[in-house]
């Protein structure tokens, strides 16, 4: 595993890639919020940014990754099936969470969507043979406490009909991550990212045609474009992360997203931060640091 020199210390690749993915995720959420504020229908936004991300990763692969291109011909049918399944799971996850948001509150959505960490940990235990131990479980619990305080401001969550759809979407996100990890042993991140998003884009086009959803640029398209661009970066850096670390580590790091979202919302969307949210953010930062220490002490997480 490569390390990057910073001063006298070294920064692991997994930390750099995962933080890049977390930042991209936060920016993607920000641009999606801006697109929705521009009155773009959620399903239209979803299908359009999926197509845009596939186009961007296609250009990235064929124009800047010529060495990697040679490996496309070596992709087996087994790997092709896994890429196709991962791409369909990604789009399915977005569809469930998008429609789930229509039938629940934003507070419930923000918290329940993070349940992918639980699903990922369980799936990785069974299908990737990742170990489960006390320190790991304590940190996961800490992450959920921090996320709960930030997303709900300490309020009690009232169950809604859409909550089940969000949980199903979170399960598909977790399954998507685990499948990508399985093929990351055999293929470069650039090829996996391209294949997964291309599959999702093809399905998005078919859904758009069937449901008569507008797939062409319109009002507020600049926000849709940047949502697609950041989505492409998410998938790329995610695959770079899980190539050098395990999938549970990556999902743990994504629990830091509410911190960046809170800062972006405070600066650009005039959203206020309460004392309990700041306390929750502090818990997330501590857990993020503990993950790095745990990683350095236990190779089963690396």
pLDDT digits (tens, 9 = 90+) for 19-61: 999 999 888 888 888 888 888 999 999 999 999 999 999 999 9
List C-alpha distances in Å: 71 to 59, 192, 201, 301.
16, 11, 22, 28
Closest CA to 241 of 231, 250, 233: 250
pLDDT of residue 7: 43
Collapsing DSSP to helix, strand or coil, 168 comes out as: helix
pLDDT of residue 269: 65
pLDDT of residue 130: 86
Count, in order, helices (H) and strands (E) of the chain: 13, 2
**Dihedral sign (CA 288, 291, 295, 296):** positive
Count of residues in the chain: 302
Residues 59 and 198: beta-carbon distance below 8 Å: no
Positions in the chain whose pLDDT score sits under 50: 5-8, 296-302
Torsion of CA 198, 203, 204, 209, to 10 degrees: 130
| Distance (Å, whole) CA 291 – CA 279 | 19
Cβ contacts of 3 within 8 Å, gap of 6 or more: 10, 11, 12, 13
Average pLDDT, the chain: 85
pLDDT of residue 156: 77
Owner of token pair 């293929």: 187
| Distance (Å, whole) CA 169 – CA 164 | 9
Owner of token pair 């960490």: 117
pTM of the model: 0.86
Cβ contacts of 51 within 8 Å, gap of 6 or more: 201, 204, 205, 215, 228
pLDDT of residue 2: 54
């Amino acid at each position: 595993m490569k390390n990057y020199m910073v001063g006298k210390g070294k920064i692991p690749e997994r930390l750099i890639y995962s933080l890049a993915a977390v930042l991209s995720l936060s920016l993607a959420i920000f641009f999606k919020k801006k697109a929705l504020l521009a009155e773009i229908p959620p399903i239209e936004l979803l299908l359009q940014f999926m197509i845009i991300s596939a186009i961007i990763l296609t250009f990235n692969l064929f124009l800047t990754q010529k060495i990697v291109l040679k490996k496309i011909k070596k992709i087996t049918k087994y790997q092709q099936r896994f890429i196709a399944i991962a791409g369909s799971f990604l789009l399915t996850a977005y569809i469930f969470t998008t429609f789930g948001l229509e039938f629940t509150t934003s507070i419930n959505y923000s918290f329940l969507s993070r349940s992918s960490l639980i699903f990922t940990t369980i799936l990785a235990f069974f299908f990737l043979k990742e170990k489960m131990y006390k320190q790991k479980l304590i940190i996961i619990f800490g992450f959920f406490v921090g996320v709960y305080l930030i997303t709900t401001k300490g309020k009690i969550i009232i169950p809604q009909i859409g909550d089940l759809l969000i949980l199903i979407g979170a399960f598909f996100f977790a399954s998507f991550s685990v499948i990508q990890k399985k093929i990351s042993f055999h293929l470069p991140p650039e090829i996996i990212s391209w294949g997964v998003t291309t599959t999702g884009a093809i399905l998005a086009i078919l859904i758009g045609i069937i449901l008569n959803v507008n797939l062409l640029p319109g009002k507020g398209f600049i926000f849709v474009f940047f949502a697609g661009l950041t989505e492409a970066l998410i998938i790329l850096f995610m695959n770079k992360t899980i190539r050098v670390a395990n999938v549970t580590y990556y999902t743990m790091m994504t629990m830091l997203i509410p911190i960046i979202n809170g800062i972006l919302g405070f600066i650009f969307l005039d959203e206020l931060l309460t004392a309990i949210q700041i306390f929750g953010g502090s818990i997330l930062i501590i857990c993020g640091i503990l993950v790095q220490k745990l990683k350095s002490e236990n190779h089963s997480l690396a």
